Amino acid sequence: MLSRPKPGESEADLLHFQNQFLAARASPAVKIVKKADKRKGEEGSTDAERPPLQDSKDVVMLDDFPDVLPVLTPAPPKKSKVKSACVRFEDEDPEERLESHDRHITAVFSKIIERDTSAVAVTMPVPTGDPFPRTFHRSEIKSEVKVGTGGKSIFAQKMAARRAAEKAAAAPSAAECVQVRSAAPAALDPEGSAGEATLPSVMGDKAGDSQWPCLITGEGLGIQKREQEAQAIHKENLEKLQSMSEEEIRQEQEKLLAQLDSSLIAFLKSRRGGNEDQKKELKMEQNRLGEFVESLPVAQHGVGSSLSTRELGLEESVRKEENSKVEITDDDLPVKPKKEWIHMDNVEFDKLKWMKDLPSPRQKKTKKGMQARFSLKGELIPADADLPTHLGLHHHGEEAERAGYSLQELFHLSRSQVIQQRTLALQTLGRIVQKARAGEFASSLKGSILRLLLDAGFLFLLRFSLDDAVDNVMAASVGALRALLVSLDDEKYLDWTFSWYQGMAAFPFVPSNEEEEEEEEEEVNGTEKSQDKKVKDESKPDPDVARYDVVKGLLKTRIQHRLRYILEVVRPVPTVVLDILHILTHIARHSSEACSQLLDCPRLIETVVREFLPTQWDPQVAEPGRLLTSLHGVACAAAMKFIRVLASGGRNATARLLNQFEMKRRLSRFIAEDPLDLLLPREEAIRLSTEAFRLWAVAAGYGQACELYRDLYPVLVRILQSLPELLTSCPAKSPVIDLSVQRAAAVVTLLIRVTQTAACVEELQAKLSSNGSEDSEQIPPPPVTWSQVSGLQPFLETSLKKFLQEISQTETWQTFQPLTTTYVIYLGVYYSACSQQPSVNPVDCLEELECLTSKVLLPLLGQPAMHSMWDLLRPCSALCNPLSCSPAPESISSIASLSCAGGKPPLSLVGSKSPFPFLTALLFLIDSITRVHKGLTSKYGSVLGFSGLKDYLHQSWQAGPPSVTPSSAWMLRHEYHLQYFALALARRMAGACPDYAQHASLHHCVAMALLSRLLPGSEHLAYEVLLDLAFNQEFLPEGKTGGPEAADFSDILHLGTSAKLAQPGSAAASFSKATRGALLRESYQNLPSIRSCYLSHFVHLQPTLMRSQASYQGRNYLIQSMLLPEVRGPILPSDWPFFPLISLYNKVTNAETRGAVLNSLPLDLVNTVTWNLQWVLLLETWRAKTLQGIPTAAKLARLMCVFLTGSDLFLEAPIHRYTAALLAVYCHPKALDSLNLDAPIPGLASFHDLYLSLLEQFEGVSFGDPLFGVFVLLPLQKRFSIQLRLAVFGEHTSILQALGVPLQQFPVPLERYTSPPEDNLNLLRLYFRTLVTGALRHTWCPVLYVVAVAHVNCFIFSQDSTVQETDAARKSMLRKTWLLVDETLKKHLLYYRVLNAESPLGFDLYEQLPPMRLKYLQMVTQKENKENAPALVS
């Protein structure tokens, strides 16, 4: 083995090594092979038949290595331009194709055709005596400079003139020129010969005529042959075309267009029409001739002039195009050039046209939209706006005459190297986003600006700009990010509703993305979704996360760390600080996880607390008119609000804020001092004090910071004593009075939370003493007792009386309504807790309630202003007015928003005139009073009699189900509170007032609608409605007032229905059939058991129910967070009445999936199904409208679970009766008309799969049960999918022997199965086959027998024109029918006339065939006999 060359060895050594290798005759390590060119097509293609090319590259191959690298990732095959350009035809001979591509040297030599160069002019070099080319200056060239000729510069014009002069000097004499070119005028003459023309332009002229070819020029064949060969080929083509028909020409044309390359087609079309290049070439040739003709004598000069005039018409269009361009003169330029200026003796106006004034913009008359342009203030500029240029809105981009910047240009500008440009672009984008969120562009622009910006990467543009080192760029990006994320109007309304009933709790700002949920369901498959979702979010790229959730995407980029750096190190101006605090507040509203990330960010909370919530600051801040240059070191209400929202994320976060970050000390500082004494502007001081009280209220909502109550008790008493002074201290409708009212409402909200916490002390102490040390999780009692909070009630009740006296003053009442609402809520909470305190005398409590009722509440209910408030419920309702809570025009799914931009109208649920907050509080107070003192219930009967309330309840439950969005969920939650307390009062009135029955039906409908609408977080309300309202016999007065009897009477008289009411029988032992009235009566009596059944099946909601109960019952020590669960939809599904049946079906199906077989079902499961069917029957009979939201197809699919659960469950007597009764309801004509099995069914992936399961179950365990058979037959109606009928007659024909549903018991008219006639040939053949083979008989399956006979009869006697296959099939079927041995079937198929439900057969027969049918039958059968006659004779 030879060694490798080493360093230092010379070329002689290398040659020596080579000689040794050759002498040894060893095999080389590599070998050279000829590899095909990749550009000639892949291996195995049609090009592989070609011989290898001679010019192939040498490729070095290594042993044991493949020729082609393995493909690591699937990639699309490469397309060869050479291969695609090669056109092949279907009728092309392969041998000719191989010959044409033969590149062998012999093929090349045998096809050499020498080019004819006899007509090409040969010019010799001009002899000169200079050894080198002579240099020249352009000033020596004598030519006239033409300004504005084709955009050529002066130098280019000089050089062109010099080349023309050299050509003229080297050209032959004028006489020779005329002799050579004499053919040109004759060629242009129509009467001249066409054979002597040499100019290509002349050929182009003749190409316009059909007698001369457009593509074939004969170039290179010589002067004598070129025209003859071209004309011969053209003549042959014309003869070929004349021999073809128009259809053949069109087919060939389509074939060519399909096979030829698009660029080649465009080239051929350009040759036909003659393009601009040919015209330019013609013009150059004219100029060339003109130069020679100018030097001729006068007699010959006329010939040249006639040439130019001849060609004038051909150049007219070109000259018009050139003349259309506006010439630029001195007058158009703002600066007049002077000859004294250097190099300005010849002015090139084309190069100065950029100095000309812009043309006036005009809107294009087109249906397509124009590009939106914006001013630097973010305003949309109209397309035809003519703005002056000094505004700085014109630039050298696209559409220079239009003012403004497009979004694309602003994006480009935002990455500029110039700081001012980056800042200006970001500021403009921020203003555009702010105006877009306010809805200013909704009517002007098509599409969503925010969605367009986010798709273009606007979010990460801002994130990158935040990392800029320049303060201005940083400030502009913070402002734009605040405009994108934060809606100040949303924050305003959230603060407004903070003091409403349960207003402290709010839904998290987590976007609800169905697309993301679908992806997660596909990936996670429903197991451990929360953990897997968190892991997947961490592994996803930032843009993918931000696509669904902008806040989560920003947190992935660690934006909180950058904002902390800006606040702590950069220390920007106050506006930037406020924007950052708003952004942090919005992030804290996102979720508890976001709050945890903000709390865990190093030095973020410390910086906010230290810099913007100091305990002392410069007193000069409070000086009027003083402009703050820095907000650092000054107390700020926005910072306190951020801390408050952060505390709402959870009790642990609140504990960290109060203890680790010393917020208790700061709360004492800002609460103890009156806002007027704080060294801040007055409005800012009131806001800061308000947010301090709200933060304390949130902490007290967890049972924390209650020790401050004892320390600040004198301060609270002083504030409560001063609250009535608000009525006289400030004029109404002033900013200060509104802020003062919000502060007072925050104080009362704090007292509500402290009162709830104090009410739990006795309970916690009892648990602590009873458990001892056994329970590891012991909750210590809060440091506040009932005796410490009960002393404030007289102050608040006295203030309430004073404010209620202003209810008749509209403006004053609207100003102080928020404070009055919190007073009423406080009294409701106080008396609910007071009745449970062991230290309180119950008699004294009842006397106080009676006094409050008689002296305050009853007089209040009788005032005219209260009547007006009840009447405003419907106009302000979000349920009755869905548009009031619809998403804003620029709402996007990845950013949660309440859609309050621009403010809500006064007549809306959160508007200034809304009665909902006060009436909800009033009903809550009445509920608390009647719960404690049941004897006072009858005194509040007038509340349910208000016409405004009744009208509102009637309209609200009939409204369609509202769409659940962040904006609607927030508003609907408060509306549902009012409905619940109205129903709670109705429940107490039902047992106390004899004349309540007139309202019972209305309130039960409202309760049923409310159950399907309540949102997460209100599980306690749903439980109470299920427990006391939904199944309450008092709310179903029909059960007592003749409802069952009316149902029986309706069935007897067949009122409103033509359906057969006879119930299908049972395959089980005979049992007595009950009437619908008896079933309703039994169901009504079983309502308590039905209620227990449903409550037990909602046990999966127990954890969320416990959290909800803690919130609504005021057990603050159990509340974990003020953030409600994420809203994905209502708590209960819309089909919750079928929930026990669905749950049982899923349980059985899952057991069978695991391999277990349930041979027998326990008794409680049979009872469960029976109670479920009883409840659905009650609702379908007496509350049918409450189930209108569930499609009839969905109801039938749920009812099919009765047969799919277990083997013989449907044979149980009670289940069979109630299923049959419900089947009669769903077979009502109106129900059948609304039945649509082809549309997607909620909760069901595929009805086809469900039906196949039903067929398999019927084959296995049906025992020929007629009721089961009806459910199998229902989906086979003609208007539903043909796949269902093919499944029965194709794959499951065995069930035809067991589908013995009698025609008299079948509740669906047979016309729905036979009309219109069947036109599917495959199904008709299956019908005929099952009939002929005996698989389908009238005694086995009368319904489908009638259907099959009707369709086959209609088909075989149909004489409509149709395709040959169908015509042959029906004639063949008719012949086979005529030859049938079974005379009964033959008679039915031939003599079928019409359906007849009264007939035992189900149809009537002809006594004899009509003449038309008889004639057709004879024609078909005799034709067959004639065709078969020879065969029979032979």
More confident residue, 1375 or 1165: 1375
> What pLDDT is attached to residue 1391?
93
Range with lowest mean pLDDT among 98-112, 437-451, 891-905, 1239-1253: 98-112
> What pLDDT is attached to residue 1004?
95
pLDDT above 70: residue 1069: no
> What pLDDT is attached to residue 51?
44
Kindly indicate the confidence band of residue 21, based on its pLDDT and cuts at 50, 70 and 90.
Answer: confident
pLDDT tens string 161-185:
888 887 777 665 444 444 434 333 3
| CA-based nearest residue to 1417, from 1389, 1381, 1385 | 1389
Q: What is the mean pLDDT of residues 605-623?
A: 90
> What pLDDT is attached to residue 1432?
31
> What pLDDT is attached to residue 226?
73
For residue 726, what are the contacts with CB-CB under 8 A and spacing of at least 6? 737, 740, 741, 744, 816, 819
Q: What is the mean pLDDT of residues 1091-1116?
A: 92
pLDDT above 50: residue 48: no
More confident residue, 275 or 224: 224
**Spatial distance between the Cα atoms of 502 and 809, rounded to a whole number of angstroms:** 27
> What pLDDT is attached to residue 148?
53
For residue 1375, what are the contacts with CB-CB under 8 A and spacing of at least 6? 1420, 1421, 1424
Structure tokens at 918: 């006060």
The Cα-based distances of 280 to 323, 498, 934 in angstroms read: 16, 79, 104
> What pLDDT is attached to residue 468?
94
Kindly indicate the confidence band of residue 187, based on its pLDDT and cuts at 50, 70 and 90.
Answer: very low
**Spatial distance between the Cα atoms of 1013 and 827, rounded to a whole number of angstroms:** 29
| CA-based nearest residue to 582, from 651, 664, 483 | 483
**Structure letter (DSSP) for residue 369:** P
> What pLDDT is attached to residue 1264?
84
DSSP run (H or E) holding 893: none
Residue 914 main-chain phi, psi, to 5 deg:
-70, 130
**Spatial distance between the Cα atoms of 730 and 738, rounded to a whole number of angstroms:** 10
- Taking every pair of C-alpha atoms in the chain, what is the biggest distance, in angstroms? 139
Q: At what angle do helices 200-207 and 276-293 cross, to 10 degrees?
A: 130
pLDDT tens string 1017-1057:
999 999 999 999 999 999 999 988 888 888 888 877 764 44
The Cα-based distances of 4 to 11, 60, 559, 596, 1308 in angstroms read: 14, 19, 60, 66, 96
Structure tokens at 855: 């002296």
**Spatial distance between the Cα atoms of 409 and 425, rounded to a whole number of angstroms:** 9
pLDDT tens string 913-939:
999 999 999 999 999 999 999 999 999
**Spatial distance between the Cα atoms of 1261 and 1208, rounded to a whole number of angstroms:** 7
Structure tokens at 982: 């109205």
> What pLDDT is attached to residue 479?
97
> What pLDDT is attached to residue 402?
85
Q: At what angle do helices 966-992 and 997-1011 cross, to 10 degrees?
A: 150
> What pLDDT is attached to residue 362?
67
Kindly indicate the confidence band of residue 968, based on its pLDDT and cuts at 50, 70 and 90.
Answer: very high
Question: DSSP letter string over 601-643?
Answer: STTHHHHHHHHHS-S---GGGGSTTPPPS--TTS--HHHHHHH
Which residues are registered as beta bridge partners of 380?
Answer: 374
> What pLDDT is attached to residue 314?
34
Q: Would you mind telling me the total number of residues written for the chain in this entry?
A: 1434
Place of tokens 């509703």: 497
| CA-based nearest residue to 756, from 702, 717, 714, 713 | 702
Range 181-215 burial, b when 16+ CB lie within 10 A, else e: bebbeebbeeeeebeebebebbbbbbbeeeebbbe
pLDDT tens string 49-88:
444 444 444 555 545 545 554 444 444 444 444 444 455 5
1316 with 1278: CB under 8 angstroms? yes
| CA-based nearest residue to 449, from 435, 463, 468 | 435
668 with 719: CB under 8 angstroms? no
Count CB atoms within 10 A of the CB of residue 501.
Answer: 25
Helix (H, G, I), strand (E, B) or coil at 1404: strand
Place of tokens 């065995």: 1294
pLDDT above 70: residue 473: yes
> What pLDDT is attached to residue 876?
95
| Percent of the chain at pLDDT exceeding 90 | 51
Structure tokens at 289: 């001739």
Range 1122-1133 burial, b when 16+ CB lie within 10 A, else e: bbbbebeebbbe
Quote the mean pLDDT of the chain.
Answer: 82
More confident residue, 47 or 967: 967
Q: What is the mean pLDDT of residues 356-367?
A: 66
pLDDT tens string 1330-1372:
999 999 999 999 999 999 999 999 999 988 878 888 989 989 9
pLDDT tens string 655-681:
999 999 989 999 999 999 999 888 899
pTM of the full predicted structure? 0.77
pLDDT above 50: residue 239: yes
| Measured distance between the N- and C-terminal CA atoms of the chain, rounded to whole angstroms | 92
> What pLDDT is attached to residue 174?
43
For residue 1267, what are the contacts with CB-CB under 8 A and spacing of at least 6? 1063, 1064, 1065, 1066, 1210, 1216, 1219, 1220, 1223
- Strand runs labelled E in 234-329: none
Kindly indicate the confidence band of residue 46, based on its pLDDT and cuts at 50, 70 and 90.
Answer: very low
Residue 1378 main-chain phi, psi, to 5 deg:
-65, -30
H helices of 723-856, in order, are 726-729, 735-759, 761-771, 786-789, 793-804, 810-834, 842-852
pLDDT tens string 115-136:
667 667 777 777 777 777 777 7
Place of tokens 């007629």: 1266
**Spatial distance between the Cα atoms of 835 and 1113, rounded to a whole number of angstroms:** 13
| Percent of the chain at pLDDT exceeding 70 | 79
Which residues are registered as beta bridge partners of 688?
Answer: none
The Cα-based distances of 671 to 123, 438, 743, 795, 1339 in angstroms read: 107, 36, 11, 19, 90
pLDDT tens string 1245-1264:
899 999 999 999 998 888 88
Structure tokens at 1358: 């149909």
pLDDT above 70: residue 347: yes
More confident residue, 1243 or 778: 1243
pLDDT tens string 735-781:
899 999 999 999 999 999 999 999 998 888 888 887 655 545 678 88
Kindly indicate the confidence band of residue 345, based on its pLDDT and cuts at 50, 70 and 90.
Answer: confident
Kindly indicate the confidence band of residue 1160, based on its pLDDT and cuts at 50, 70 and 90.
Answer: low
236 with 253: CB under 8 angstroms? no
> What pLDDT is attached to residue 526?
40
Kindly indicate the confidence band of residue 218, based on its pLDDT and cuts at 50, 70 and 90.
Answer: confident
> What pLDDT is attached to residue 1107?
94
Q: What is the mean pLDDT of residues 29-34?
A: 70
**Spatial distance between the Cα atoms of 820 and 818, rounded to a whole number of angstroms:** 6
Helix (H, G, I), strand (E, B) or coil at 1394: strand
